[in-house]
Structure formats: structure tokens, C-alpha cells
Amino acid sequence: MSDYNFAYLDEQTKRMIRRAILKALAVPGYQVPFASREMPMPYGWGTGGVQVSAACLVPEDRLKVIDQGADDTTNAVSIRRFFERTAGVATTGRTRDATLIQTRHRIPEEPLTRDQILVYQVPIPEPLRFLEPRETETRKMHSLEEYGLVHVKLYEDIARHGQIATSYAYPVKVEGRYVMDPSPIPKFDNPKLESAAVQLFGAGREQRIYALPPHCKVVSLDFEDHPFEASKADHACDLCGSATSYLDEVIVDDAGGRMFVCSDTDYCETRRDAGHLGRLSASGPVTTGQEDAA
Amino acid sequence: MTPLLQVKGLTKRYGARIGCQDVSFDLYPGEVMGIVGESGSGKSTLLNCLAGHLEADSGAVVFDTRADGPRDVRAMSEPERRMLARTDWAFVHQNPRDGLRMGVSAGGNVGERLMAVGARHYGNIRGQALDWLDRVEIAGDRIDDRPTAFSGGMQQRLQIARNLVTGPRLVFMDEPTGGLDVSVQARLLDLLRGLVREMGLSAVIVTHDLAVVRLLAHRLMVMKSGHVVEAGLTDQVLDDPQHGYTQLLVSSVLQA
């Protein structure tokens, strides 16, 4: 890290991205185009999120990176290391200690505060993309607020599956105006989009930034007779016993054995440290040794 | 009585070439206007200009809106025009693939316009879709099939159901029976005639098939090289053609 340049991007680029972020915050849910840069990682690995993070980081920040809820998977580890090396900021796994959190596919279970920024990696920012392939047409639909087509998708779900089968990247309407793709988070996380933290969405390949300012009204689209439901696996975590967190299903042997664990590893560890026990805590294949305290 | 649609001096040019020139007519509620002519005579250009798909160069298209009375469609803002296009207007394409969403089930296709104007109750949308499929003689158990699984005639009937579900007052049809075999054509015409009577629809139908206009249209315009060469009551024009081109057109049809 040199004194005149901080967090990988040059200052002009950061200024351009910050302008886009400010505009996105001023028009919640609106996709602001920006001149996405080549990043030292492939598209689809979070180039958009990394650029937004780089533009927001200050030397005092403490960074947390989440990949599918976990802090220790490839994507999370490499992005965290990237910023350790290029910005020299402190990093953490604890949600409550972090000031800036870059995430992929999850929102932390622990409620965020007004002092935090949550940055999402977005593969496809356009919620209407798979319904209407023409970009010119989707832009027109956004500008004229013609969102009937989103409900056609939900109608098709119910007609075919008896319920709304869209379980991730569930479309939301922001402040009664723009329909927005909340990135591929499970629909379980949709209610958490109304948050005290600033939420920024960066799509590198598609060159779009959008945002949700704190306490912004976010409504998941649905039908009157088929209301939105934030669904999760109908189990409790096998390690920490939480019945309210989003769960991953893990196959543990080749005889049909399986376990359900919190997808948010920090949340699960914090609970285990506090002495909570799950079904497999004492004898299960995964133990941390910290249950002894309980 | 106010005409539903007044067209005054509508002109569309493609560079130096004429698309259609100085077309004027009035369409009253419940009336069906046929436009016939050979290929390249400007009838589709005219229809697309009326429906707002093409920008005309000059002239006026005055539509009697429900809220504000007669207004020039060309002077409306785009949101207003698109709103009109999905509520009071309907456009039936010659090729059902242009007018349908082929990846969406029949029910979704019919329901799309309802959802576009704010319907948010799945049960009601589905009920209305079933009702309309029945009206256009598509069995209710096909509601969850995609249009790709339908025959050409069924696709065309589905397109009609999808367009009429919001109860439009004016329907534009571009060769609705083109590409269908004669027996399916006959059924479709029968259906259209019934719906037009029942719902009191006004329609502008472009076709090159004189049998279609004889069955459906009350009045007729004959176009040639972008100009209207003859206009009048359908049977009058077809049985006693005055203009040389109309005489040629009428005599070129084999009498079955």
C-alpha cells in the first residue's frame, strides 16, 4: 500500500464509482451504469462487489467477507486476502465487529447496524432479464413502471408447482417504485433487506450499481391469495440448535445420513460459544471442543 | 355520435417512397373496417401507424378515450400510449408467435394483460383465463400448456383471447387468418364475428382475402400504392367496384 493510492483502484476510478453509489442511494433500486474495471479475478467471482468495496473502504475499516454465509470458503478467503494486501485493512469473521461486509448469496443472521455497509456481489442485476431479453425494452419497462411481467413469472410458478417456487433472487419492489433483483440471496433473507445498514449492490460484468439506503421500504412481490413466504428448511441447526436461522443441508455419509447446519458460520459459532447445543453437538462428526464450556 | 377513431390525412413515407399517403376515415363504435389491397400497397404500414408501432410523418389519429374524450394519439406521451395499448386497444398479429409469449403457459399469456393493469389475485386471474379459453374454444385442461404445444389455429385463438381479456374497445388485426387452412379459417372467422357482435368491438382488419372482409367488415377501403382508391360499404365495393384496380382485385378471385 502506497500513500497516494489505497485499496487497489486508482483514485479517479474510485471517484467515478462513488458518484454511481451516491446516485444509486438517491434513487433506491435504480440500476446506475458505471464503467466497470478489469479486476484481477474472473467475472462471476465478485468483480462488482470488489470494486464497490474498494471505493468504500477507508484505512480504519474492519472488513468481513461472506461467501454463501461462510467466512472460510475460496471466494471469501481470496477476496479478504486481496484487501488485506492491497488496502492493509483489518479483517474479521465477526459480523458485529465488521464495518464493511462484502457478501455473496447471504445476509448475516445478526441484524446490521447503522454503522455498517453491506456490499453484495451481483451476477445479473436486471430482474426482468429472463422475462424480456431486450435491454432497450427492460429499461423502458423500468422507466414506465410496467412490471406486469414479473407477476407472469410468479403466475407460472404457481400454475406449475402449486406455489411460488422462486426461492432465491426473489424480486422486490423498492419504495413503491423500482423492481429490483436482490442478488441470489435466498428468499428467507428478503425481509432482512429492510435494514439499518447501507446496502450496495455491484455487478461488474453487467456494469451496474444499485443500492438500498437504510430503512428503505422493500416489498417482496406476491399475489393476494399466494402471499410471500420467507421459507427455510424445516429443521433446527444440528450444531447450535437455532430454529430461526437459514440452514444448509450437508450429506455426511453414503447411507442417507444428513445434517442441517447454519449457513451463517459466524452466527453458528457465536451461539456455540454461548453454550447452545444442537442435535449432533456432543457426538456428531463436527465438534469444535467449545461445547465443553456448556 | 362521436366516432371511436378519426383518422385525418395520415401519411407515412420511407425516404422518397410512399408508405401510405393522406388516409382519412372515421370508425364508429361497433363498426368493423376492412382494408384490402395487394402486397406492398401500404395496408400494414397504415395499420402500424394507427396502432402506434410506427411513427407517422403527418396527420392525426384521434381516439375517443374513456377518460378525456377524443384525443390525438400521436400527441400523447409514451406512457399514455402504452397504457392505451394494453387496455382499450388490442393488436392481433398475423403470426401468433409475434403476439404470444411462447415460453409462458396459455393461462399466463391470457393473464399477462390483467397483471399489467394491476390484477394481483391468482385465483381471479386464473378464473378469467379459463373463461376466455372457453370463449375461444380452447379446452380448459390446456391452460397450463405452452403455446408451442398448440396448433396454428389454437395459437391464433389464444392470441385473440389474450388480447380481448381486458375488454378493449378497438382491435387492430393484421391478416388474422393468414397461414391457416380454410376450415380453421372458417371457425376463426365465425368466432371473431361472434365476439365482435357480443362485445360491441370496433375493429380495423387488414387482409388480402376478400372472403374475410365480406364476412367480417361493414365498410371497406381499397388501397393501391399507398393511396386509398376506393372506400364504401363492403358489399357495395365488392359487388359494384368503381375503380379499375378494385375491379381487377374482385375479378381475380376465383368464385367457388
- Assembly ipTM: 0.82
Q: Do B116 and A149 touch (CB under 8 A)?
A: yes
Cell numbers placing B20: 401510405
pLDDT, residue A291, reads: 43
SS3 assignment for chain A: CCCCCCCCCCHHHHHHHHHHHHHHHHCCCCCEECCCCCCCCCCCCCHHHHHHHHHHCCCCCEEEEEECCECCCHHHHHHHHHHHHHCCCEECCCCCCCCEEEEECCCCCCCCCCCCEEEEECCCCCCCCCCCCCHHHHHHHHHCCCCHHHHHHHHHHHHHHCCCCCCECCCEEECCCEEECCCCCEHHHHHHHCCCCEEEEEECCCCEEEEECCCCCEEECCECCECCCCCCCCCCCCCCCCCCCCEEEEECCCCCCEEEEECCHHHHHHHHHCCCCCCCCCCCCCCCCHHHHC
Residue A29 appears among annotated catalytic residues: yes
Q: Do B122 and A158 touch (CB under 8 A)?
A: yes
Residue A194 sits at the chain B interface (C-beta within 8 Å): no
For residues B88-100, average pLDDT: 90
For residues B214-234, average pLDDT: 90
The DSSP code for B141 is G
Q: Do B108 and A159 touch (CB under 8 A)?
A: yes
Q: Do B107 and A155 touch (CB under 8 A)?
A: yes
Residue A16 or residue B254, greater confidence: A16
Please list, residue by residue across A85-96, b when 16 or more beta carbons sit within 10 angstroms of its beta carbon and e when fewer do.
ebbebebbbebe
Of A48, A204, A237, A278, catalytic? A237
Residue A257 appears among annotated catalytic residues: no
Residue B162 sits at the chain A interface (C-beta within 8 Å): no
**Is a pLDDT exceeding 70 seen at residue B73?**
yes
Chain A positions touching B112 (Cβ under 8 A) are 148-149, 152
**Is a pLDDT exceeding 90 seen at residue B187?**
no
Residue B211 sits at the chain A interface (C-beta within 8 Å): no
Chain B positions touching A220 (Cβ under 8 A) are none
pLDDT in tens, B134-170: 888 889 899 999 999 998 888 988 998 999 898 899 9
Chain B positions touching A152 (Cβ under 8 A) are 101, 104, 108, 111-112, 115
pLDDT, residue B147, reads: 92
How much of chain B, in percent, has pLDDT values that exceed 70? 99
Residue B126 sits at the chain A interface (C-beta within 8 Å): yes
pLDDT, residue B255, reads: 62
Q: Do A144 and B79 touch (CB under 8 A)?
A: yes
Q: Indicate the residue of A149, A155, A160 with minimum beta-carbon distance to B122.
A: A155
Q: What is the mean pLDDT of each run of 10 residues along chain A (294 residues)?
A: 76 94 95 93 90 93 92 91 91 92 93 94 91 90 89 91 90 94 93 94 94 94 91 89 91 90 92 86 52 41
Q: Indicate the residue of A155, A225, A226 with minimum beta-carbon distance to B115.
A: A155
Residue A16 neighbours by CB distance under 10 Å: 17
What average pLDDT is seen over chain B?
Answer: 88
Q: Which chain B residue shows the shortest CA-CA distance from A141?
A: B79
Residue A240 appears among annotated catalytic residues: yes
pLDDT, residue A294, reads: 38
pLDDT, residue A5, reads: 79
Q: Which chain A residue shows the shortest CA-CA distance from B105?
A: A156
Chain B positions touching A158 (Cβ under 8 A) are 122
Q: Do A223 and B121 touch (CB under 8 A)?
A: yes
Residue B221 and residue B34 in contact, taking contact as beta carbons nearer than 8 Å: yes
Of A29, A46, A69, A204, catalytic? A29
